[in-house]
Amino acid sequence: MDVARLAGVSQKTVSRVFNNEAYVSAEVRRRVLEAAEELGYRLNHAARALASGRTRSIGVVSLGTALYGPASLLIGIERAARDTGYALRVVYTLEGDPGGIAGAIDFLLNQGVDGIVISEPIDEEADEGTVWAGVDVPVLVLGAPAPFGAARTLCAGVGADLLARAATEHLLDLGHATVHHLAGPQRWYAARDRLAGWRAALADRGCDQPPVVEGDWSAASGYAAGRELAADADVTAVFAANDDMAIGLMRALVEAGRRVPDDVSVIGFDDTPVAAYVTPPLTTMRQPFDPVAQEGLRLLVHAIEKPDVDLPPAHDPPVDLVLRASTAPAPSRTPLSRGRRTATRPRNVPRTGAPADGGLSDHP
Amino acid sequence: MDVARLAGVSQKTVSRVFNNEAYVSAEVRRRVLEAAEELGYRLNHAARALASGRTRSIGVVSLGTALYGPASLLIGIERAARDTGYALRVVYTLEGDPGGIAGAIDFLLNQGVDGIVISEPIDEEADEGTVWAGVDVPVLVLGAPAPFGAARTLCAGVGADLLARAATEHLLDLGHATVHHLAGPQRWYAARDRLAGWRAALADRGCDQPPVVEGDWSAASGYAAGRELAADADVTAVFAANDDMAIGLMRALVEAGRRVPDDVSVIGFDDTPVAAYVTPPLTTMRQPFDPVAQEGLRLLVHAIEKPDVDLPPAHDPPVDLVLRASTAPAPSRTPLSRGRRTATRPRNVPRTGAPADGGLSDHP
DNA sequence: GTGAAAGCGCTAACAA
DNA sequence: TTGTTAGCGCTTTCAC
């Protein structure tokens, strides 16, 4: 390289400097850096990848929607990746995409990546045997149990069932006879997880398990589900599998003349930025996207760089219930008490970190 | 290569097959493909990049927030890129990131990309001279005028001022004396663009230009701004620079006892998926994210592959006003008429593509 | 239509 | 602490 010549050293020494290797004298390092600066030199990644067999990049398969969850996770992943010196290759799977996840993985493998992250609960439709056949890099699955079949599969962000359970329990604690569930699409692990947590909570308390209504994560599907649920007078509490659906649901309830939370309590899942500002402000279960992304990437990078060493285990996610104004004690059966608002909100549940909560709960 | 040996041809012929070059007999092509299949061969991208000097990947600098706009744009870009055979390298700039956009570009350049997309209106804080210094690939700026300084800069998705203008005019058409503006952070071109459109509309009609309130795109900032605006009895119509802020704004208005749209009309910008389901359903200006991404990528790929040929010009974005229930005729000055709801919505504005609009407008 | 030779810019393994 | 020698797997150029 020219840099080597200008600095009066060998090519290898330049390489050493740029890789922060030991055994380079400060003086030589300085000279090399100077020469590089002067020539506007940048290390050629392709050549490095070719020679070293490592691309130093991680492929991410994400959901092709602007949903809050996947988008947040992606940002967390990027941040964590860049911190550890890896670049990201991102591929989205769109609903009805030919190839789906398998195609996306194949694309990434073709590009050359040292590891793969499958973000957001994955679709099981694809034939696992096929998907994982040629995958020779570690795979991190976020928010789902690691599927067998892949050589090295890790997972992080599981345990959403615990959060779902806590959400359901919150409603039961408010005195509701049972809790309905507006589920996410059951092809997604995340949706199934939440469903399982809801079921577990009801089972624990010996409550009825009403039929599940399934949405597709969108507010529109929540709205559609809400029209159904509103028709059923027995519904007094609903746990929606994400905030968007909860918002659509509330809209449908209100249109049908059922007040939230007076007649029906609604709890969401995610804590999207708008959740605090819809009417009524939505009580929801916050998801720890950044910690999950960080933890997951730590595992993945570990698997890439030290394939032999065993991996430290992941922790359970923290339960972070964000109490706002969409949940209230169950309406008593006498019509008289129906006019009451949220004044009797229980005080035993900790009130956690919603940005503008203070000002929000005392709405007109 | 092993594939070459197994197929009984030269390495070069294998290369030809995998690059879909002409001058390969069907028979040879078949043999090569077969051999590759058998060996599970994948073309090595790093080697190809090294030899050809082209990485076939595009770097994207996006905003590190899960906002609907940037996320949608990113998805559109990925789709368009993959369609043209390019992979994506994604970097987010986080608020307060050391280096900011300049650092992100530098990172991408180090990784090796054939082109760069700067998604979502960019921050001008960075010293342009520095930012663009070593950039030797075409740069596409989405939603902002192309800055000079870079060798080859393109832009797409400009013209949001036209949309902002139309949004403002919608409110003026409803009889409001003037329209207030809840602007986005003015460091972003997109925010300035919308501000400019709003100003232009007011100027055209000879209306007052009330002081601008500035938010940061978040519902929280919209809420804060809303508390200010609610205190001003003259405010009867507000154009918010995005839907999230509009939602926060509405929340603040309602809390302050000002009904939407009876007392104050609110129009948003973006048409996020939840906009149709908040209370009241939000009238908003839809942004054409996918067309912008596609058009932009077309330009970028063109600039990468045929640097000499001149680029076809971009078109103006289509105006797509989504009428819902958050805007209504200006309240007349007599207190008597204040009870009226949206019954007198004008019929002259086309009602466009909101998913569930039909069922939404007749809320209780 | 197909092949041979050279080399892209780096790192690995060893030598000094 | 630094240098030498190969060679990563492809494309380029030119010859056949």
What CATH number has the domain bearing residue B197?
3.40.50.2300
Of residues B346 and A201, more confidence is placed in A201
Residue B165 sits in the same domain as residue B150 = no
A45 and B112 within 8 Å at the Cβ level: the answer is yes
Per the structure, the count of domains in chain A is 3
For residues B118 and B135, give the distance between their C-alpha atoms in angstroms, rounded to a whole number: 13
HSE on the CB side for B87, CA within 13 Å? Answer: 31
**A216 in a structural domain:** yes
Quote the crossing angle between the two packed helices A26-39 and A11-18, to the nearest 10°: 90
Nearest nt (C1') to A52 (CA)? Answer: C11
| Minimum distance, in Å, between the CA of residue A203 and any CA atom of chain B | 32
Give, in Å, how far the C1' of D6 lies from the CA of A294: 39
| Residue span of the structural domain in which A14 resides | 2-43
Distance A9 CA to C3 C1' (A): 39
Q: What pLDDT score does B355 carry?
A: 36
User: Shortest CA–C1' contact from B48: which nucleotide?
Assistant: D10
| Cα separation, B43 vs A58, whole angstroms | 18
Most confident of the following: A9-18, A63-72, A105-114, A250-259: A250-259
Distance (Å) from the alpha carbon of A65 to chain B's nearest alpha carbon: 7
Query: Are B79 and B227 in a shared domain?
Result: no
Tell me, yes or no, whether A311 lies in a domain: no
A/B interface, count of CB pairs below 8 Å: 185
Q: Are residues A114 and A152 in the same domain?
A: yes
Do A342 and A357 contact (CB within 8 A), yes or no? no
Query: Mind telling me how many Å the CA of A301 is from chain B's nearest CA?
Result: 18
Task: Judge whether residue A201 has pLDDT over 80.
Answer: yes
Tell whether A262 is covered by a domain: yes
Closest partner residue to B66 (CB to CB) among A40, A50, A75 is A75
Over chain A, what HEC string results?
CHHHHHHCCCHHHHHHHHCCCCCCCHHHHHHHHHHHHHHCCCCCHHHHHHHHCCCCEEEEEEECCCCHHHHHHHHHHHHHHHHCCCEEEEEEECCCCCCHHHHHHHHHHHHCCCEEEECCCCECCCCHHHHHCCCCCCEEEECCCCCCCCCCEEEECCCHHHHHHHHHHHHHHCCCCCCEEEECCCCEHHHHHHHHHHHHHHHHHCCCCCCCEECCCCHHHHHHHHHHHHCCCCCCEEEECCHHHHHHHHHHHHHCCCCCCCCCEEEEEECCCCHHHCCCCCEEEECCHHHHHHHHHHHHHHHHHCCCCCCCCCCCCCCCEECCCCCCCCCCCCHHHHHCCHHHCCCCCCCCCCCCHHHHCCCC
Asked whether residue A346 is assigned to any structural domain, the reply reads yes
- What is the pLDDT at residue A187? 86
Nearest CA in chain B to A55: B46
Interface contact flag, A222 B277, Cβ < 8 Å: yes
Instruction: Kindly state whether residues B177 and B294 are assigned to the same domain.
Output: no
Nearest to A99 by CA among A91, A90, A89, A111: A91
Q: Are B261 and B342 in contact (CB under 8 A)?
A: yes
Q: What is the mean pLDDT of each run of 10 residues along chain B (364 residues)?
A: 83 89 86 89 94 95 89 94 94 78 88 91 57 81 72 82 96 98 92 96 97 96 97 97 98 97 97 96 96 93 87 78 97 54 38 36 32
Residue A313 counted as domain residue: no
Do both B29 and B96 map to the same domain? Answer: no
Taking C1' of C1 and every protein CA, the nearest residue is B23
Give the up-direction half-sphere exposure of residue B337: CA atoms within 13 A in the CB hemisphere.
Answer: 11
Does residue B336 sit in the same domain as residue B217? yes
Do B13 and B119 reside in the same domain of the chain?
no
What is the model's pTM? 0.87
A191 and A335 co-located in one domain: yes
pLDDT digits (tens, 9 = 90+) for A265-274: 999 999 999 9
Structure confidence at residue A3 (pLDDT): 85
Chain A neighbors of B293, CB-CB under 8 A: none
Structural domain includes residue B97 = yes
Residue B46: closest CA among chain A residues belongs to which residue?
Answer: A46
Statement to judge: residues A337 and A246 lie in one domain: yes
Residue-wise pLDDT tens digits, A121-179: 666 555 555 566 678 899 998 887 776 556 678 888 878 899 999 999 999 999 999 99
CB contact under 8 A, B220 and A42: no
Closest of A2, A13, A40 to residue B106, by C-alpha: A40
Asked whether residue A176 falls in the same domain as residue A241, the answer is yes
For residue A183, is it within any domain?
yes
Note the strand C nucleotides within 7 A of protein beta carbons.
1-13
Domain match, A9 and A70 both: no
Asked if residue A322 lies in contact with residue A352, where contact means CB atoms within 8 angstroms, the answer is yes
Under the banding of pLDDT at 50, 70 and 90, the label for residue A4 is confident
Percentage, residues of chain A above pLDDT 90 = 58
CA angle B87, B92, B93 (to 5 degrees): 145
A151 lies in the same domain as A69: yes
- The mean predicted confidence, pLDDT, of chain A is 85
**For range A341-357, the mean pLDDT:** 37
CA dist., res. B74 & res. B85, Å (int): 16
Mean pLDDT, residues A83-112: 86
Rounded CA-CA distance A212/A197 in Å is 13
Any strand D atom closer than 7 Å to B12 CB: yes
The domain that holds A32 is classified in CATH as: 1.10.260.40
| Strand-by-strand arrangement of the A213-214 sheet | A213-214, A180-183, A237-240, A265-270, A283-286, A321-322
Cα separation, A34 vs A254, whole angstroms: 68
Is B364 part of a structural domain of the chain? Answer: no
